[in-house]
Amino acid sequence: MSDAIIVRNVTYRAGKEFAIRDLAMTVPTGSVYGFLGPNGSGKTTTLRLLLGMLPVDDGTINLLGHDVPAGVHKALAKIGYVPERLHLYPQLTVEETLRYHAAFYPDWDNARAEQLRRGFSLRAEQHVDRLSKGESGKLMMLIALAHNPDLLVLDEPTDGLDPVVRRDVLAALLEYVSSRGATVLISSHLIHEQERICDHVGVMDDGRLLAEMPMAAFRGGIKRLRVSRAPLDRGDLPFTLLSRGVSAGREEEWVVRGWQPAMKEYFVTAESELREVIDLDLEESFVELLRSARVPVVVAGEEI
C-alpha cells in the first residue's frame, strides 16, 4: 500500500452556505503532510470526514486500506487523533484518562504512555480540568502516540501553545515518526512550523483543495517574476499565472506556479524581458495561491 489516505471526489454540505467540494487528496504512506488553509477553509471538517465523524454526501475515502465509513473503526485503531479542541473528560485525572483510552486501543503501550507522561511532566493525579492549555495539548498528543499508530491526524496540535511546549510536542511527534515511519496529516495555519516538518503540502480554501504537492515543489515552484515589456493577451503561458500587477512604469510583477528555469525562453519569444526571478517563502507562496484562487487572473479576456 503506497498511500495512507486516498480521498476522491468528496462532497459534503453543512447547511446552505458551506460545502466541501469535489475534494481529492492523497497522503503518501510515511509522509508528513501539511494541511494548510486559512481559518474556516474546511480543514477541520475535512479531517472529521476522513475519520468518519461526519457522513460524506458523495465520493470515497480510504484510510490505511479501509473504506470509510464501512471499515473506519479498524482504521481508527491504528490512528492517533489530536482534535482542534480538548476532547477529554474534565472530571477525570490524567491517570484515569489514560486508563480509559487504553481500554479501547488493542495496541496501547502502557510503558510508552508512562514514558511520555514523565517526559511531558504531567502528574498522574492531576485533574484534566486543572491542566493548563499546554498540558492539555501534551496529554492529547500523549494519547495519540501511546497506541503506536500508523497514522497521526493532528488538527492544529500546537495552536495556542507557548514556544517551549510547542517544541516539546513537536519533538515527541518527530521522534515517533522517525522511529516508526508513521504517516502524519497535520492541519495548521502556522506556516513556518509546517515548512520545517512537512514533506508534502495541501492547500485548502473555501472548501476546495487548491494545490497538493511535495513541499520542495511548492516552495521552489512559486516565483515572483519582474517582467519588462510584459506580453499582452497571450494565452500560451508555460506556467500557471497566479497574479499579475504593475510594478513600476511598464514593468510588471507576475506570481507564477510551476516555474522552471527553461521557461525564460518564453519571454524571449514573446519579445519581452525577464528582469528578475524572486524566490518566495512558503508563507508568501501560500498567500499568493489563496489570492489567485479568490481573484482569478484574466489573460486574453479569459480567466485562467
CA 227, chain centre distance (Å): 33
Q: Does 12 bind another protein (CB under 8 A)?
A: no
The interface region with another protein, picked from 68-76, 180-188, 224-232, 296-304 by CB under 8 A, is 68-76
Nearest CB to another protein, comparing residues 102 and 263: 102
Task: Tally Cβ neighbours within 10 Å of residue 301.
Answer: 7
Q: How far is the CB of 2 from another protein (least distance, A)?
A: 24
Query: Would strands 222-228 and 298-299 be described as parallel, antiparallel, or unpaired?
Result: unpaired
Q: How far is the CB of 83 from another protein (least distance, A)?
A: 5
Q: Does 159 bind another protein (CB under 8 A)?
A: no
Nearest CB to another protein, comparing residues 133 and 250: 133
Cell of 161: 501553545
Q: How far is the CB of 188 from another protein (least distance, A)?
A: 18
| Short-list 13, 2, 15, 85, CA closest to 49 | 13
38-57 residues in contact with another protein (CB under 8 A) are: 51-53
Q: Who's near 48: CB < 8 A, 6+ residues apart?
A: 54
Q: Does 157 bind another protein (CB under 8 A)?
A: no
Nearest CB to another protein, comparing residues 89 and 278: 89
Nearest CB to another protein, comparing residues 104 and 133: 104
Q: How far is the CB of 111 from another protein (least distance, A)?
A: 19
Q: Does 100 bind another protein (CB under 8 A)?
A: yes
Nearest CB to another protein, comparing residues 90 and 181: 90
Nearest CB to another protein, comparing residues 90 and 160: 90
Q: Does 96 bind another protein (CB under 8 A)?
A: yes
Answer for which of 6, 92, 299, 304 binds another protein (CB under 8 A) is 92
Q: 231 φ, ψ to 5°? A: -65, 145
Cell of 70: 464501512
CA 215, chain centre distance (Å): 11
Q: Does 105 bind another protein (CB under 8 A)?
A: yes
196-225 residues in contact with another protein (CB under 8 A) are: none
Q: Packing angle between helix 133-145 and helix 94-102, nearest 10 degrees?
A: 20
What letter represents residue 173's amino acid? L
69-88 residues in contact with another protein (CB under 8 A) are: 73-74, 76-77, 81, 83, 85-88
The count of residues interacting with another protein (CB under 8 A) is 24
Output the CA–CA distances (angstroms, integers) from residue 186 to 33, 122, 191, 195, in the order listed: 6, 24, 11, 12
| H-state helical runs in the chain | 43-50, 72-76, 94-102, 110-119, 133-145, 163-180, 191-197, 215-221, 264-269, 282-294
Residues that bind another protein (CB under 8 A): 51-53, 73-74, 76-77, 81, 83, 85-89, 91-92, 96, 99-105
